[in-house]
Structure formats: C-alpha cells, structure tokens
Structure 1
Amino acid sequence: MSSFVAEVLASSGKLEKEDIGTKISKLARRVEEVKGEVCDMINKKYEEFIPSLKNGENLVTQVDGISMEIDVLKSQIENEVQRDLRVAVTEFSELKQQLEKSTVLLSVLTQLHEFDTALETHHQALFEKNYIKSATHLNKAQSTLTLLKSRKGVELKMLQVLHTELIIQKENLLYHLGEEWKQLAVWSLPPSPAPTKAEDLFAWTLKTELRLCNMQSKKKSELEPLLVSILQGFAILGELSRKLKFFSQILMKYILKPLVHDPSLDVEIELQTHDAVLRFRPTEKQSDHASPTEVYQKVLTVLDFLHQHLLCVSQWDSVICNMKQDVILAEMLGDMIWEDLSEVIIKNCLVYSIPANSSQLDQYEEVIKETDKFEKKLKEMQFLQDHSTDLLKYARNVNVHFASKKCQDVIVNARNLMTSEIHNTVKITPDSKVAIPKLPSLGLVSRAKTAKTSAIAPSSMVSLGNGRQLGHRTLCVPTCRISESVQKLVELAYQTLSEATSATPECAVQLFYTVRNMFHLFYDVVPTYHRDTLQKLPQLAAIHHNNCMYIAHHLITLGHQFQCSLPSPLCNGAATFVDFVPSFRRLGTECFLAQLRAQRDELLERLSTARNLSSLDDVDNYSAASKAVRQVIHQLKRLGKVWQDVLPVHIYCKAMGTLLNTAVTEIVNKVTALEDISSESADCLYSLCKTVLEEGPQIFQPLPEESRNKKYQEEIPVYVPKWLKFKELMIVLQASLQELVDRWTDGKGPLAEEFSPIEAKSLIRALFQNTERRAAALSKIK
C-alpha cells in the first residue's frame, strides 16, 4: 500500500487526463481488495470466532490510508482539473460568439445585396414599362427591408436611408401607373359647381363623357394588354381598391345618378379604332319619373360597357398580387357602388312605381320580374354575388310599400283638405248619403243576420208601440251646411277603409289606423290652423261646428260598417271610432260657444252706450239709446243672415234666441233699475221696446225651404226665456196704476208671473208720483 500511495503522491505538476484515469482505476481495484479483506475478517470474527484483533487493527490502518489517498486525489482534481476546464469553456464561448457575429453580418450583407438587386430590377422593369415585375420587386425590397429592421445591431441611419429610398421608388411607380391609368380611362367632366336651374343642370350633365383607350403596350408581349399590367401593378402595391373606389365615386355622381334621376337622359356608346366612348344623349321626356324597366336598361348599358372594355381582365395572376383568391374587378366595383345605386333606384324610381290603388297591384308583378332580370344580368357580369339584395327585397315587398304609400297619400290628402278654405260649403240634408264602395260578401252568417233583421223590421219604419213608429229620418244629420273639404275628408275615410277590406291583413291594419290618425290630425290641425278666422268670423265658427258634428255623426257607425270585413283583431271589436265622438262634439261646441260669448259681449257693449236708458225725454239721451238698440237689432239680423242657411234650424233658433234674450234681459234690467221715469221717458222706452218687439222676431223667420220647420220660429218664448217678461214690461210702461194692480191680482196675474214684488214696486215708484193711490197699490203687491 505504501508503494501505491508513494506512487500517487510522487506525481507533481499538471495531471494529464490519462494519468488521472489510470490512477482512479488502480485506486478502485485497491478498494475492492480492501473490501474483500474486510468481509473476510468479519466472517472469521462473527462466524468462525477466531481471535483476529491484530489483523483488524492492520485493516483499519489500511482503510485509513486509502481514505487519505482518496482525499488528496479529490482535492487535486478540484483545484487543477476544474480550473483548466473553466478556461477551456470560456475560450470556446468566445469563439462561438465570434462565429455567430460573422454569420449575422454575412446574412445582413446578403439581404442588403438582395435589396439593392430588387431596386435595380425595379428600375429596369419600370424603364421597360413592365409594371408587374417592377411592383413585384418593390414588394420584395419591402420584405427584405422589414427583415433588416428586425435584425439587431444594424445601423439605424442606414435603415432610414433605405426606407426613404423605397418610399420614393414606390411613389414613382404609382405616379407612372396613375399616368398610364389616366390615358386609359379619360373622364371629361362638366365644370363645378353644378347649376341650380333645371334647364341649366340638364345641359351641364350632357357634358359628361368617359373614354376608354384599351391599347396594347409596345414594350411587352402582344398577349398581355397594358390594362392588365397597370391594374396588376396597382393590385401588387395594394392601391387597386383605392383607385377603383375613386373611379366608382365619379361613376356614381356623374353617370349613374343622373341616369336614374332624369328620365330625359340616355346613354350612347361609340366604338372607335382603339377607343370606346360613353356619353349622354337627350331623349323625349314621357313623365317626371322613369319606369324601372327604362332605368334598369340604362344602368345595364353603362355597366356592360365597363365590363367589356375595362373590367373583363382574363390574364390575372392572384399569386403575383399576393391575394388569397382570384381578383374579380367587376365584383370589386359592384361592391363599391351597389349600396348607393340600390338606394338611388329605390328612392327615385321604385317608390314612384308603387301603385296607388289595390286594383293595380297585379300590374306591379311586371316590375318584380324586371328587377329580378336586372339582378340576374348583373350576376352574370359578376357585379353582384349570388345572394338576394335590398333592391329585389324592396320590389317584392310591394304590399308593405303599397300600404305605406297609400297611408302617406291619405294623410297628405287629408291634411291638404284640413288646411283648405272652410267657407266653400255644400248643403247636407237628411237624405244625403256617403257613397260607400261595395264591400265583399260577409258569408252565410252575415246573410243569416241580415235575414233575421229583415224579419224583425220588414219596413223602414220601426214600431214604438201604441201605434207609433220611428221615422226613417231618425238619427239622420239635420239640414245644414258643411265644408266641402270635410265632406271629401269623410269620403276619403270610407274609401280608405273599403280598400282595407280587400288588402292583406298587415296592410288592412295599417290603413285602418291611418284613418284613425287622419281624424286625430283633424282634431289637432284645424283648430290651430284656422284659429284666427274661427274667432273673428261667425259664419266660419258655425261651419266648423257643423263639420265637427258631421264627422262625429259618421264616426258613430264608421267602424261598425266595416268591422266584419276587416281581418283580426279588427273584426273582433277593435275597429271602432266611437271613442272620437265626444271629442269631436266638444270641439265643435266649444268653438261655437266661444263665438256666442263674443257676440254676447258685443251686444252688451252696444247697449252700454244707451246711457242706462235714463232721462229719455232728453233728445241726446234718446238718440244714444235709440242708436244702441238699432245696433243690437242690426247685429242680430247680420248674424241671422250668416247663420240661418248654415246651422241646423234648432241650433240656429237656440243661438239667436240666446243672443236676443241677452239683449232684452239687459233692457229689462236697465229699466227696472231706474228710480224715476217720467211719462215722456216712459213713452220713449215703450217706443224703443216696440222696435225690439217688432224687429226681433224677424230673425226667426224661416227660409222658403224651411217651411216645414216654421213652427220652430213661431215659438219665440221657447228660445227667448225673457220674452214674455219683456212684453209685460212694455205693458207696464203704458198701463195705469189700477191696471197694474189688476195685472198683479194678488200675485196670480201675468205681472206677478214675470216680475217679483220688489221689481213691481220699483217700477210703480218710478212711474207714478207718491200719492195715496200709489201707496194703496203698493200695499196690494205682496
């Protein structure tokens, strides 16, 4: 063992790798030997029981020695071998980093070479007008520059120079492409701004022209047109969409929109040697709006012209253009213009082709067919994709649009009637009827109901019992005058509801509520629009009163007449206008009552100038009182002239009776308020009252055609409650003291019926002097 340890310890300096391995192997073998000896000794000691203490001590000494040798060797390995290993790894890492830097530098130089080569190729291709190759290499240079920017350590200033150069070259290519495009698609546009006058605008529009010069390039193969080269150049640079967008905007503004708007415009195409020209030409104007067929034909002519001479590109390489699918130029342009074009065609053409009456709906099928053909043709030219569009949906929804247009027309017509003059009137009699179109048959149930009703009331007279019958004019409108516009308004309501009975359920509901909205509109518009005239002119107030009552009269049964012919839920009781009736009656009544109050105030104001009817023996006082009474009579007669032929007889009598009653009441009150009435003043008062008594009833004289209603005018006390009191006052003014006592008759005579005891005593005190006879007479009036 000592020789082995000495051999190991004798080694000095640097240990080579092979020496360390040899020594480790020897040491391992020696450990195995010691292990065998240890095991052998343990067996002998614990199994054979042989005293071996001495031998054990020797083995311990050997193990300790080997352990020391192992520790020395481990220390040597850690201090020398690992130090040399770290130095080697460091040197290797530095070499590796140097290699990587060299590799990156080589890659950057390669990419710079590729960038320069791409730009050089671009310059050469641009010089040869090979725009596809030029744009492709510009894209390649762009990709190379992007990779360079992602590299670390590349000089920033150099990248900025390369980026600027690339932008300059791209703009240079776009400029050349733009110049070539301008020569291929030449627009001749009218000067801006557009004129405002219609005749000037038409001449201005005719100046628009589009010339397509589809020539082949002299620098390229005859198989590749210049147009393809230009368009693919734009596509490779990502500018094709923007270029077509600008082209589509000009196309819409100067060609397609004028063609749809103006029916007197048409297009013509002239084919020349290398050019194709599209321009406008004037045509004879048949109507204010062109038919859908004409518009479709004009639009197809324009789009077919573009499809043949500009957009039908067969040599198209989507791979070069870096696109996922083949580019269809017609489809791109169609996507750009279709939404605006559809909206223009709908608003300026299809809207006006919607029929105004339900009877014309069948004729509209031709418009639907033409719209379908129009879209199919556009799909064939690839302007549209294979799906339904808003244009065809609009054309097919004719029932909805018909209802909307019909409702709009109804409201517009109704409002025009409401804002027309009220004083244009027509006479309404109980025999007047509104012409109702024939309603569809209600079926067996309705006929059974009709038969049952006829069985109950076979004649036009309804029995009331006791031999009395209800007249055929019961619940009819009394004779009066209404505005012609209101009569047309009611007829419009009947016509609209009649059309609703034969329309689709959705259309019927819309038409029904349009009629309701029409009456809502009348309630809101007429009192506001005609406010001043209704307040100032009594005749118009009376006509408005009749108009409201006439409408309310028809609203009672309007819904019931059409209810069974309308769809659900209208036929289940929703079709009614009865809720409007109170409002319309109140509207007419309030307006007329306001006019009556104004006339009453005017009468009282005139009577206020009569100087309280006192001291009429004075000439000036009598003249003022006489003038006031004459003005009252004149005012009543004037109202009678403007109201008598307008209002129904009973309304006229009530209105005039109310005003006359106001006048006579005021006169009676003024006379009874006098404290002293001389005989001359009494005679003057009697003369004034006689004027009222004679001329007042004349306002109730019937017109010749009202002879059947003469009894209404003859019963003046019915409409003038104070008439008898007024006549009694006249008797008092001419009666003696005894005659007044006799007419009192202990509170049972005619004087007591009209005057209170206080009023009677006041009159006696004013008319007669204070004597015993007057005192005796006053004592009898209780």
Structure 2
Amino acid sequence: ELGSSAPSRSTRETTEPGRKGRSGRTACAVGELQVRLSKNVEECVDFAPEGGKVVVSATPKGHSDGSHGVELPVALQALEIIDALDYGMAKIADSMMKHILVPAISNIHVSVLVECGPEHTVSVLSVVHSEENKDNRDGSNLYSRIVDVIKFVCKFICMENSKWVQFFAKLTWPRISDLVITHFLSKAVPNEASKLIEFQDVVQSTTEFENKLRSMMFLLPDRKDGKLTQFVDDVEVHFAVRKRSEILVKARNILVQYDYDSPLESGDQGDSVVDLLFQPEKCFTSKSALLVMKLVHGALKDASLSSARVAKEFCFAARDVLLLYRAIVPVQLEKQFDSLSQVAAIVHNDFYHLSQEILGLAFQYRADFPSDLQKQVVFVDLAPIFSQMADAILRRQIQLTVDTISEAIDGAEGFQNTHQPQHYESAKFSIEQVVFILEKIRIMWESILPRSIYRKSMCNVLGSVFSRITRDMLLIDDMAAEETLQLQGLIHLALENLSSLFLSLVENNDGSTKFLDHDAWIQLDGILPSLKKFRKLAELLDMSLKSITSCWESGDLVRCGFTSSEVQNFIKAIFADSPLRKECLGWIVRTPA
C-alpha cells in the first residue's frame, strides 16, 4: 500500500530536474528584475557629488520619453510586488543619510530649501549654509529641518505611500535618532540640577517632533520606536547618576591627595578652625574634611532643588561621600595612629566635626526635600559611626601616651635609694622624661583639640601619671631622711616644670595668667584627684610623725585619696620603730577613714 501511493523512482528522476530548472530560472529572472528596478529608482533620485543636494525626477535620468525606464512610483510598486522594497530603497536611504541628513543635523548654521518643477516632474531639496540661522535651545529648528527632509521624502520619493514611508523609516530612523542624540540631546543635558527645569523645553519639543513623525506615518503609533523621547525622559536619572559619580570621584581625589603630615604649615590655617555645631567650642579641622563636607552640602542643596528621582541620587551621593571618608582615611593613616602624632589629633577632630555636621543635616535640608523623600532619606544613623571613630582614635592616642610615660617611669626603678647619686640621677632623668613627653603632648593637643576634649584627655593622662609615681613612692619600704628630701625635690621638679600644662587646664584661662594661684590649684585638685594626692605626698615627706597622725585624724589625708594602709606603710618606711610610732599607728588603725 505504501508503495502504490508513492511515485516511482523513474517518475521522480524525470520530474524533479525539470522542476528545479524552472525554479532556478524564475529566481534568476526576479534577481535581474530587482537589480534593474533598483537601478531605475537610483536614476530617479540623484545626489550631488559635493553633498547637500538631491534631485528627484519622475522618470529615470536620461530617459525622459520613458521608453527605457519606468516612473519612480511604478518602479517602487514593482519592487514591493517582488518583496524587494528594502533592497531597492537601501542605497537611496544611505545616500540620503550621507548627503542630506548628516549635514542637516550636525551643522547648526544650515537651512533646508525645497524647489518643485511643473507638475512635480523634478523636485530639489538642498541643505544650504546660513549664518543667520542658528539652532535654539529646545532643538525646534533642528527638528524642523529633519521634518522638512522627511516630508520631501514622503511626498516626492514615497508618493505618500505609508508602507513605502515605513520602509524608508526602518532604514534611516535608528541612524537619525543616534545623530540627534550625539549632536544635540547629549549636549543639551544640563550640568546643574537647577537647570533641569529648563530641559523640559527640550522634552516638549522632542515629544512634538516624534508625534509629528507619527502623523506622517514615518514612526509607528505604538511608540516603540520613540528613542528620542525615551532619552529625554531618562535624562534626569542619567544626569543624577553622572553627578553622583562625579561627586564620588571628587571626594576620592580629595581624600587620596590631601597631605595630613603638614596641615598646620599652610598659610590659611585660620580657615580650618571651625565652630562645632552642637558645642560652644572651636576645633582645628583638616581641609580634607571641610572639602568633603562642602561636597555633601552641595549634593543636598541640589537635592532640594530637584525632582524626587534626582534628589534620591543626590542624597545617596552625600551618604556615599561620608562613607568613603570613613573607609579611606583610617586605612590611609593607620601608621600615624600607631604613634604619638598630631595627625591623629586632627583626624579625631575631623570625625568629631563630621559627626556633629551629620546630625544637623536632617534639620537643615529635610524640609526642602521632595515629600516622597523626607521620610526615606536619613543621615542620623551615620553620626554614631563617626563619633565612635573619633573616640577610638583619641583613646588610642591616650593609651599610647600613658604607655610611653610608663616606660619612662620604669627607668626610675621604683624611686628606690634616691639618696645615692646614681639612683637619684636615674629618678631625676625619669621625671624629666615624663615632663618632656607631657609637654610634647600639650603642644600637639592644645591647639588642635576642642578645649573640653583637650582638658578631659589631658586629665586622663595626668591622672595615670601621678597615680603611678605616687604609688611607686608609697611602695618604698625604707626611706632615709636624705631620701625623703630627694623624693620631695623630684615631686617639686615635676610640678614646677608642668606649670604651663596646668595653666592650660584651668577653666577660663585666656593665656594671660603665667602663675598658678591658690584658686587655680583648688580647681586643678578638683579635676585631678591624683594631683592633689601627689602634692600632699610632697608635704608628708617633710612632716613629723605627729603632724601626719593629725592629718589623718582630721580627714585631710582621706580627702587627698590616701588609704589607712598607705599611711601606715608610709610611717613605717620613714620613722624608726618607737613607742610614739606604735601609738600613732594605733590611732590611725582605730580612727575610721
């Protein structure tokens, strides 16, 4: 059954070659016709070799009687029938782009002129130079030139045939839109947020331009080919993203290029002393931090003047700048943080200053943000990050200072045997080293740190220093009379050489006072309990046994921070065993602190 339904082998062999032969001849004939018709179209549309001019004739060039060619619409109709319209129009479209549309779009001092012969037998379009003609900001003159060219094509080449017009559009519109974007729209994008509103004129003229092309059936009504409209609609976002990137590049360049090693050597250092936002104080801040904050304020000001889409990008840019500072500076200056450095104090100030500025951003700008962003955009979460970083840097410097001074005190070997010249010189050198380090820290910190932070930090260091020296001296278990005088002299040496430091800690000291008076010492004793004990120890080293006992009974020693065991051990170290010593020690044991 299968065999009876299928043609025989001999039948296939005799029929198929004939079929193939006819098919091949037909394809060849169609191909030849396609080429001849395309040539016919090209002869009807002639472009001047120098460019800027096209002449459209109703009949092919050189065949005015029509005997050897067909009229332009007939040729296009024939190409459509054989499904070769795109082939026939390809060269015309390329030439129209090269000789007419490119100069009409890329040059601003040109105009388009159209001339028509009798009964439209010959039509001419020229792109001519015109100094008087100049494109306006919204692009309407440019769009008008393009419309004139397309009108000419639609009327004299495509003969108002919508299908032919759309074929021509398919071959040219992608290139036309790219040229418009390159030569006009991309250059019209504003560089400042405040000018985005002016760009709405460009948006309107571009929309009107594409709508005009749709009315001419050059563009389809579904708006899928509205490339220019899409570009101008997205300009706000492109602008904002570009500005965000530019802001971050500026911030990075500031942070990477700034020289923290010599911030005080510049002649305009006075500009770097800024008022703290939430403290009635001033502090020295690096130009790096000031420039970064200037970028942040600039971004937020632009956000206040922008639409919600653009404002959001500007706000993110401001946050990114601050986070970039937090990421780069600590890593970049890590080596300086590992030693006693004025750079560390300045960077502490930077973080402290920025933490306060960040807290103020919401109050300063939020009310001006677009309503959609007022609850979304926050900065207050960044303030603790910067504040904690400032604290960490300063704590590290304080600890380094304390450790360095402790090493210097270690050289005194517990201040033992100072009645011996060698041991006394070691102890004296140790005290001088302590004074030198403290004075160095004072010079580094006093002109940099906010006053309240300077006083608190220096008191922290001094408290540790005086406590350590006092403890070491009180641990001496046996002191000769000469030794007590030597220890007292060392205490006085330290106090006298630290007078400038003490003065810097006195409240309301304007720098005019050169000596510490009674009121100043009372104030210092109040903020530095260990100093009060240190000074009292100098007095005890020159007091009689009864006087020491009386001081304990009166509570004076307790108020200075001495404990019962410390006083007892001190008496045992200085005074030899005697009935009076036993009696005094008994009084101290029985008298509550």
User: Relative to structure 1, is the Cα distance of residues 370 and 120 closer, same or farther in structure 2, using a 3 angstrom cutoff?
Assistant: closer
Amino acid in structure 1 at the alignment position of 2:193: N
Aligned match for 1:132, one of 25, 31, 35: 35
Residue 386 (structure 1) shift: 5.7
The reply on whether 1:483 has 2:282 as its aligned counterpart is no
Aligned match for 1:715, one of 523, 531, 537: 523
Q: Take 1:225 and 1:694, find their aligned partners in 2: how far apart are those partners?
A: 114
Q: Take 1:583 and 1:121, find their aligned partners in 2: how far apart are those partners?
A: 81
User: 1:106-128 deviations in whole A, cap 9, x for unaligned?
Assistant: 75575366357659979xx97xx
Aligned match for 1:760, one of 549, 554, 567: 567
The reply on whether 1:624 has 2:420 as its aligned counterpart is no
Secondary structure of the structure 2 residue equivalent to 1:755? coil
Matched with 2:128 is none
Residue 363 (structure 1) shift: 3.5
Residue 661 (structure 1) shift: 1.7
Q: Note the residue ranges of structure 2 that are not aligned, 5 or more in a row.
A: 111-134, 264-268, 514-518
- Percent identical across equivalent pairs? 21
The reply on whether 1:728 has 2:574 as its aligned counterpart is no
Q: Take 1:662 and 1:644, find their aligned partners in 2: how far apart are those partners?
A: 19
1:67-106, aligned counterparts within 5 Å? Answer: none
Contact 1:542 1:592 in 2 (8 A): yes
Matched with 1:635 is 437
The reply on whether 1:111 has 2:14 as its aligned counterpart is no
Aligned match for 1:364, one of 194, 199, 218: 199
Normalising by structure 1, report the TM-score.
Answer: 0.53
Amino acid in structure 1 at the alignment position of 2:228: L
User: 1:126-176 deviations in whole A, cap 9, x for unaligned?
Assistant: 7xxx763799xxxxxxxxxxxxxxxxxxxxxxxxxxxxxxxxxxxxxxxxx
Secondary structure of the structure 1 residue equivalent to 2:285? strand
Contact 2:439 2:501 in 1 (8 A): yes
Q: Take 2:237 and 2:520, find their aligned partners in 1: how far apart are those partners?
A: 54
Q: Note the residue ranges of structure 1 that are not aligned, 5 or more in a row.
A: 1-95, 136-176, 186-208, 268-289, 319-323, 434-474
User: Relative to structure 1, is the Cα distance of residues 113 and 595 closer, same or farther in structure 2, using a 3 angstrom cutoff?
Assistant: closer
Q: Take 1:715 and 1:514, find their aligned partners in 2: how far apart are those partners?
A: 48
User: 1:697-726 deviations in whole A, cap 9, x for unaligned?
Assistant: 321334999645988897222332211111
Contact 1:331 1:382 in 2 (8 A): no
Contact 1:428 1:477 in 2 (8 A): no
Contact 1:668 1:729 in 2 (8 A): yes
Q: Take 2:521 and 2:216, find their aligned partners in 1: how far apart are those partners?
A: 84
User: Relative to structure 1, is the Cα distance of residues 557 and 327 closer, same or farther in structure 2, using a 3 angstrom cutoff?
Assistant: closer
Structure 1 stretch displaced more, 700-709 or 602-611: 700-709
Q: Which has the higher contact order (CA 8 A, sep 6+)?
A: 2
Contact 1:516 1:577 in 2 (8 A): yes
Residue 356 (structure 1) shift: 0.9
Structure 1 stretch displaced more, 661-670 or 408-417: 408-417
1:541-690, aligned counterparts within 5 Å? Answer: 541-568=344-371, 577-690=379-492
Secondary structure of the structure 2 residue equivalent to 1:540? helix
Amino acid in structure 2 at the alignment position of 1:756: T
Normalising by structure 2, report the TM-score.
Answer: 0.67
The reply on whether 1:391 has 2:228 as its aligned counterpart is yes
Q: Take 2:35 and 2:207, find their aligned partners in 1: how far apart are those partners?
A: 39
User: Relative to structure 1, is the Cα distance of residues 674 and 117 closer, same or farther in structure 2, using a 3 angstrom cutoff?
Assistant: closer
User: Relative to structure 1, is the Cα distance of residues 712 and 773 closer, same or farther in structure 2, using a 3 angstrom cutoff?
Assistant: closer
Contact 1:747 1:753 in 2 (8 A): no
1:261-272, aligned counterparts within 5 Å? Answer: none
The reply on whether 1:333 has 2:171 as its aligned counterpart is yes
User: Relative to structure 1, is the Cα distance of residues 662 and 537 closer, same or farther in structure 2, using a 3 angstrom cutoff?
Assistant: closer
Contact 2:536 2:560 in 1 (8 A): no
Secondary structure of the structure 2 residue equivalent to 1:722? helix
Contact 1:356 1:405 in 2 (8 A): no
The reply on whether 1:750 has 2:557 as its aligned counterpart is yes
User: 1:654-705 deviations in whole A, cap 9, x for unaligned?
Assistant: 2112111211111112112222333343333222221211122321334999
User: Relative to structure 1, is the Cα distance of residues 692 and 563 closer, same or farther in structure 2, using a 3 angstrom cutoff?
Assistant: same
The reply on whether 1:781 has 2:583 as its aligned counterpart is no
Coordinate RMSD, CA, aligned: 5.9
Q: Take 1:378 and 1:603, find their aligned partners in 2: how far apart are those partners?
A: 83
User: Relative to structure 1, is the Cα distance of residues 99 and 560 closer, same or farther in structure 2, using a 3 angstrom cutoff?
Assistant: closer
